[in-house]
A and B are shown apart, each in its own frame.
Chain A
Amino acid sequence: MAKRVSLSGNEAVATAMRQIEPDVVAAYPITPSTEVPQYFSQFVNNGQVKTEFIPVESEHSAMSACIGASAAGARVMTATSSNGLAYMWEPLYIAASLRRPIVMAAVNRALSGPINIHNDHSDSMGARDSGWLQIYSENVQEAYDNFIQAVRISENADVRLPVMVCYDGFITSHGIENMVLLEEEEVKKFVGEHKDDYFLLGDTPIALGTFDGNQYYFEHKRLQAQGMINAKKVILEIAAEYEKITGRKYNFFEKYKMDDAEIAIVVIGSSAGTSKVVVDELREKGIKAGLIKIRVFRPFPAPEIAEALKNVKALAVLDKTDSFATTGGPLFKEVRSAVYGIGDNKVVKSYIYGLGGRDVTVDSIKEVYAGLQEDLTAGKYEIYNYLGVRE
């Protein structure tokens, strides 16, 4: 029986961890993800889980210990944010290339510098090409649901790649929301036993992380890419299974009032909630506004996005990070690339917004939709825009 509760994002994810009960958790504190290992180590020390917790001395060691533990045959999890994720950079790539099914709560926070503890997506967006799957969450419920599904996606034999479950620092990690928890038995049944065909402690010795010269490295990278390609099908299958026990639908992205939309926003994370309010207001005025909220960023669901946006006349892609290419944010690049050649003369523009926790207001989102309407009238537009910044 599902249980209605009020929890913060970190509490919900720590609860998911407790219900999943992995073999090993290795983590290092960093705001705003600190609470996850904090709650979890309490579960460990209360004897509520059989998990071994490794209180490492850094995020680099957190990911390294996760790699070692996963290679040994354990189900492994961690959590981090911002500079902690940056400090993991090197082992992030190693985890993916060694095909380690590690699940991480990546609680989004602005990357230094200047140092800032608030939310944006510069941390996980920087890791977008590390080979990890990235699943983003709008709210506490989604963070919890995505975390549970991530275990199955990650460990699927056709995928075998690590997964980052991202949710917005403070807004979602510390905001208390009403949500529904599954029973522990339901979660355990859903994730199942962790099984490995090849692991360090298995009957036959294995070697992992060996030197891979120019005769093999390329093929191994191709296989890694195949895992990511395969993940698309698996993500949907797992979502369908999850829907059966929860009634909650998940896809690569959520379409909000998109059926007849002429102007639309593509956005990631908690700002989708704010944007939906604006869409509703615009719809009341008869303006055909819509919204797409990205859930799965890696692998990127390009054809599905293109299909969803094919009838849209003007489109703004919102990035809570800048890539400093002077040509728009990373999500913008992916979306524009996806819609290229589909429906000519579409307005497709980039907005950089909310950096370092700058509040994303209803008014600022209204400004984006208004801008799209003006662009359509004017027939010209700026591609690269900053939203809500003092200039």
Chain B
Amino acid sequence: MAVNLKELSKKADRITAGHRMCAGCGAPIVAKWVLKALKTEDKAVIANATGCMEVSTCLYPYVAWKDSYIHSAFENAGATISGVETAYNSLKKQGKVKDNYKFITFGGDGGTYDIGLQSLSATMERGHDVVYVCYDNGAYMNTGIQRSSATPFGASTTTSPQGKAVPGKQQYRKDLTSVIAAHHIPYAAQTVASKWKDLYEKSEKAIYTKGPAFINVLTPCARGWRCDTQKELQVVDLAVETCFWPLYEIIDGKYILNYKPKKKLPITEWLKPQGRFKHLFKPGNEYMIDAIQKEVDKNWEELLKKCNL
């Protein structure tokens, strides 16, 4: 069935307005579209790693989630949801739970790429029927923009600040989607917060594919990216147009490219609107931009090969 924005807008949101995320934060957009993909008749349990989304959507005694929700700690969202899903299997078999449930976890890049990776990896390996959604905004934004292993090369963060001796982060980002794909799970995908249709369709596939599924969503954080809130979704689009963040999915091991830019834009288009990369445009730092372009080109070529393109 073709996805119709007008029709979908009539479907009730399962995360409410009135949460306390920053104005312009990309994370609730992600949560909204992922949960839209749930069938109305299906119930869900949402697990959340500690992070912006968690502290801002459930300040006792308020909660912005319409489904059951659990937060335990920073690094254990994967293990927590695997416990919930296993309990469901047990109680369902015993006839103690009648409804159909889906299990969805949200974690930022800190809770997913770094401190929660072990717990996530094991959850994927054990084959729990859960969806893990990483809203990757490229740094520990909740604690004040510290670098993570998802932070792009060159970015200035509060623990990889651009200084006289070291111009920002000196390491390339971890390719987590590939790491998760190496678990040979039935569904893994990369998408962005700015393309609702892609995000929605991938969420639907992830939720309704039996077994573990993972979606990595590049999500804007205007605070951390030092960009204009009003233009942040366009900035995210530029990540796709420059091939910094390609849209693709891996279904049962088969790589599928979902979008190929007609004209691949130079990486500077993605870097320029973001204050965290400002120092890269200073005279003498050209080599860093060249290095970033090279890395993006290499990754893009590799992906095309994997997609048999």
Seen from chain A, the residues whose Cβ lies within 8 Å of a Cβ on chain B are 23-24, 26, 50-52, 54-58, 60-62, 64-74, 76, 90-91, 94, 98, 200-202, 205-213, 216
Do A65 and B61 touch (CB < 8 A)?
no
15 A-B pairs with CB atoms under 8 Å apart are A57-B121, A60-B119, A62-B79, A68-B72, A68-B81, A68-B87, A71-B83, A71-B84, A73-B91, A91-B73, A98-B72, A201-B91, A202-B68, A207-B65, A207-B69
Q: Distance in Å from the Cβ of B56 to the closest Cβ of chain A?
A: 8
Given A64-B79, A65-B86 in contact, is the A210-B73 Cβ separation under 8 Å? no
Complex-state Cα separation, A241 to B94, whole angstroms: 28
Seen from chain B, the residues whose Cβ lies within 8 Å of a Cβ on chain A are 43, 45, 47, 54-55, 58-61, 63, 65-73, 75-76, 78-84, 86-91, 93-94, 96-97, 99, 101, 118-119, 121-122, 125-126
Do B80 and A65 touch (CB < 8 A)?
yes
Most buried by B among A70, A200, A206: A200
Do B86 and A205 touch (CB < 8 A)?
no
Complex-state Cα separation, A361 to B81, whole angstroms: 48
Do A216 and B60 touch (CB < 8 A)?
yes
Complex-state Cα separation, A24 to B118, whole angstroms: 21
Given A61-B76, A69-B86 in contact, is the A211-B55 Cβ separation under 8 Å? yes
Give the chain A neighbours of B84 by CB distance below 8 A: 68-69, 71-72, 200
Q: Distance in Å from the Cβ of B26 to the closest Cβ of chain A?
A: 20
Give the chain A neighbours of B61 by CB distance below 8 A: 216
Do B83 and A69 touch (CB < 8 A)?
yes
Give the chain A neighbours of B66 by CB distance below 8 A: 205
Most buried by B among A50, A60, A64, A90: A64
Do B86 and A54 touch (CB < 8 A)?
yes
Closest B residue, CB atoms, query A54: B86
Q: Distance in Å from the Cβ of A192 to the closest Cβ of chain B?
A: 14
Give the chain B neighbours of A202 by CB distance below 8 A: 68
Given A57-B121, A210-B58 in contact, is the A23-B82 Cβ separation under 8 Å? no
Give the chain A neighbours of B125 by CB distance below 8 A: 57
Complex-state Cα separation, A56 to B101, whole angstroms: 22
Q: What are the 9 tightest A-B residue pairs by CB atom distance, in nearest-first order?
A: A68-B83, A65-B83, A72-B87, A64-B76, A61-B79, A57-B122, A74-B87, A210-B58, A64-B79
Closest B residue, CB atoms, query A66: B83
Q: Distance in Å from the Cβ of A96 to the closest Cβ of chain B?
A: 12
Complex-state Cα separation, A146 to B67, whole angstroms: 37
Q: Distance in Å from the Cβ of A57 to the closest Cβ of chain B?
A: 4
Give the chain A neighbours of B90 by CB distance below 8 A: 23-24, 50-52, 74
Do A68 and B47 touch (CB < 8 A)?
yes
Closest A residue, CB atoms, query B80: A68
Closest A residue, CB atoms, query B78: A61
Do A65 and B45 touch (CB < 8 A)?
no
Complex-state Cα separation, A230 to B126, whole angstroms: 39
Do B79 and A56 touch (CB < 8 A)?
yes
Complex-state Cα separation, A58 to B88, whole angstroms: 22
Give the chain A neighbours of B65 by CB distance below 8 A: 205, 207
Do B79 and A208 touch (CB < 8 A)?
no
Complex-state Cα separation, A387 to B54, whole angstroms: 50
Most buried by B among A50, A206, A209: A209
Closest A residue, CB atoms, query B48: A209
Q: Distance in Å from the Cβ of A265 to the closest Cβ of chain B?
A: 40
Do B68 and A211 touch (CB < 8 A)?
no
Do A210 and B60 touch (CB < 8 A)?
yes
Closest B residue, CB atoms, query A217: B60
Closest A residue, CB atoms, query B123: A61
Give the chain B neighbours of A94 by CB distance below 8 A: 72-73
Do A24 and B63 touch (CB < 8 A)?
no
Give the chain B neighbours of A55 by CB distance below 8 A: 126
Complex-state Cα separation, A51 to B89, whole angstroms: 10
Do B86 and A50 touch (CB < 8 A)?
no
Most buried by A among B58, B82, B83: B83
Complex-state Cα separation, A67 to B91, whole angstroms: 16
Do B71 and A52 touch (CB < 8 A)?
no
Do B83 and A72 touch (CB < 8 A)?
yes
Q: Distance in Å from the Cβ of A323 to the closest Cβ of chain B?
A: 26
Given A54-B83, A69-B83 in contact, is the A211-B58 Cβ separation under 8 Å? yes
Given A51-B90, A54-B83, A205-B67 in contact, is the A72-B45 Cβ separation under 8 Å? yes
